Amino acid sequence: MNSKLPSQLTDMLLMIEPIQFGFNKEAFETNSFQNEPRSDETHSIQGKALGEFTRFVAQLEKIGINVHIVQDSLDFYTPDSIFPNNWISTHESGELFTYPMTVPNRRKERKETIIHSLIEKHGFIHTDLSSWEQEIPPKYLEGTGGMILDRTNRICYAALSPRAHLDALQEFGKIANFKIVPFNALDKSGEAIYHTNVMLSVGDTFVCIGKETIVEADRNRVMQSFQSTGKEIIEFTNDQIYSHFAGNMLQVKNEKGETILVLSDRINQELTLAQRTSLEKHNDHLLPIDIRTIEKIGGGSVRCMMAEIFKPRS
């Protein structure tokens, strides 16, 4: 039996090339990070988003990260398909999960061709949690948008929201063998933060957290869980979370085994000296990405665009 601890980092990513990116009115109801475009902007959004996507992939590949690119299709209207981490996750245990999506037009993002390709290539076993959409009332769990996984310590952190329901979280935890640490966190309007990954990121040896977004009743419990793992806690202000996508970052590794923190160019420009020093201590490279159109219109940043592929461990 292989007793090696699960890896926190992967060197392989799945990314979806957009062909119909735009403002998703259905998603806007629960995503305060979206901004509706002006009428004179709508015709140029797809082109700008494609350019940002292409440059993003080029930067990842240049630094030695393997990116598996799938082009979206015109079969269905899926303006948010550029954010695949919400509907799929893979694990070294050999599990591939697909998730219940809150917004009806996002459910079409779950492409059988992608699922089958990953199963055939890597031997994953598929667990489909999307049946939670049919519950009365329905319950949702939008993948590693709604969950932040400390894979090594088998802890799943989740800000409860319309897109992350406790019942679905508990089923995931039972199947995947993760302890669930649920909490409540608020956006700038005082509503539930729609995705945990806008305020929290867990790396191999550190945690980035918008601590003050967590309601006071839950804050100490969550912070104690981080402390118990021995990871350094790097705190971000509410303004950095709400205005600059501070939590929406992902640590990966390249073909040389170097650690790379992929983050929005917006937060890269707003880091304090202390924050930058801490992040540089835990990463061989910081890789800032400028995706201003995608962030403004889609309400998600770099982490949302990367679905990690963890090949099953033999």
Average confidence (pLDDT) over 113-138: 96
Q: Which residues span the domain enclosing 68?
A: 12-308
Instruction: Give domain status of residue 3, yes or no.
Output: no
The pLDDT tens digits for 282-312 are: 999 999 999 999 898 777 899 999 999 999 9
Instruction: Give domain status of residue 27, yes or no.
Output: yes
Instruction: Give domain status of residue 182, yes or no.
Output: yes
CB 103 within 8 A of CB 145: no
The pLDDT tens digits for 220-253 are: 999 999 999 999 999 999 999 999 989 999 999 9
Distance (Å, rounded) from C-alpha 173 to C-alpha 180? 6
Average confidence (pLDDT) over 264-272: 96
Q: What is the DSSP string of 76-133?
A: S--TTTT-GGGTEEE-TTSEEEE---SSGGGGGG--HHHHHHHHHHH--EEEE-GGGG
ω before 137 within 30° of 0 (cis)? yes
pLDDT value at 136 more than 80: yes
Q: Output the six-digit token pair for 94.
A: 């050999």
Instruction: State the CATH number of the domain containing residue 60.
Output: 3.75.10.10
| pTM for the predicted model, two decimal places | 0.93
Q: Output the six-digit token pair for 164.
A: 């992350």
Domain count, the chain: 1
Instruction: Give domain status of residue 75, yes or no.
Output: yes
Distance (Å, rounded) from C-alpha 169 to C-alpha 180? 7
Instruction: Give domain status of residue 77, yes or no.
Output: yes
Distance (Å, rounded) from C-alpha 193 to C-alpha 32? 8
